[in-house]
Amino acid sequence: MLGTFIQQTVNALTIGSIYALIALGYTMVYGVLRMINFAHGEMFMLGAYAAFLVLTVFVGDIGAVGAFGLTLAFFGAVIAVGFFGVGIERLAYKPLRNSTRLAPMLSSLGVSLTLVTGVQILAGPQPVAFPSFFPATRYDFMGGTVTSVQIGILVAAFVLMFALYTLVNRSRMGIIVRAVSESRPTAQLLGINVNLAISAVFFSGPLLGAAGGILYASYYGIMSPTMGAVIGLKAFTAAILGGIGSIPGAMLGAYILAFVEVGGTALLPLITNGVLGTEYRDVLSFAILILVLLVKPAGILGEPVSEESMVYKREF
């Protein structure tokens, strides 16, 4: 019993870390631009494909890649996707900054469709086996099994999130981003380079999302062009759960969602006597989303914003 408990806790922490990495991108973009970036799930997918590409092109034999090659592929891929994100913002969202609130969202929907189909055409629609980025060792820990992949994911995610947290709270760039997130017109009046802040967000968000994609693909050993859709939706749920626009909120929401999901999947068949099985896991996450919106729309750590105060104003 204790073994199962530990096992499930580690599973939830692993998947929660991946959700958190993606949720951060949603929350930061929403923070500065007040838009839902539907193409963000695709950054997650692109991360896995970019890492795979770097491995096949520059390292060659995937089976015998050393630690150096894997590190190179990881950082090469996430930085490439980061720059890609900045480019997409410049091309598809920036011209719409003074347009209606609907326009950038529709544009991101088009970007998402383009990226998924583009990858489908270039790499084929079928799922591809993905090499593990961590040696496959299993450790028995108080009756539960913990793999080194899980430990690697946890460590990598914690390091990345800590780096982001430090950057946002301690660096000059972080101050700029927070100022723009607080109020774009005021930041502009104070002489802050708003475009720089937005580019920083569109670099770090996709970068973290891509890292999440690589970790996810090496956890499940598989990647596919459509892998971003459902995970993206869940990460967005996590961002709302924690309070959209709040960086610690996104992390907290992601772990809560992961624990509810893992716990729910284990308990649902027991509680309902097998009527509701594990296939209802996704339904559970969306039910949580609707419940949060009903009970506490601002999320756990989000500031209680009223509709009038910020949302439909044209300056966004």
* Residue 90 contacts other proteins per CB under 8 A: no
Q: Which residues pair with 295 in a beta bridge?
A: none
Separation between Cα atoms, residue 213 and residue 282, nearest integer Å = 19
Number of alpha carbons in the 13 Å side-chain half-sphere of residue 54: 21
Judged by beta carbon, residue 163 or residue 293, the one nearer other proteins is 293
DSSP assignment, residue 126? S
Residue whose pair of structure tokens reads 């998924």 in the numeric block: 116
CA distance linking residue 274 with residue 272, whole number of Å: 6
C-alpha 223/C-alpha 47 separation (Å) is: 10
Stretch of residues binding other proteins (CB under 8 A), selected from 54-62, 126-134, 156-164, 275-283 = 275-283
Using rule CB under 8 A, residue 229 touches other proteins = yes
Residue with tokens 């003074």: 98
Beta carbons within 10 angstroms of residue 250's beta carbon: 33
Does 271 sit near other proteins (CB under 8 A)?
A: no
Residue closer to other proteins (CB basis): 38 or 219? 38
* Residue whose tokens read 């772990």: 255
Closest separation in Å from C-beta 286 to other proteins: 4
Maximal C-alpha separation, the chain: 62
Question: Does residue 109 touch other proteins according to CB under 8 A?
Answer: yes
Q: Is 120 in the site for other proteins (CB under 8 A)?
A: yes
Q: Is 308 in the site for other proteins (CB under 8 A)?
A: yes
Q: Of 117, 137, 166, 272, which lies in the binding site for other proteins, with binding defined by CB under 8 A?
A: 117
Single out the residue of 114, 183, 188, 195 in contact with other proteins (rule: CB under 8 A). Answer: 114
Under rule CB under 8 A, residue 230 binds other proteins: yes
Q: How far apart are CA 52 and CA 67, in angstroms?
A: 15
Binding site for other proteins (CB under 8 A): 34-36, 38, 91-92, 95-96, 99-103, 105-107, 109-115, 117-118, 120-121, 125, 229-230, 233, 236-237, 240, 277, 279-280, 282-283, 285-287, 289-290, 293-294, 297, 307-308, 311-314
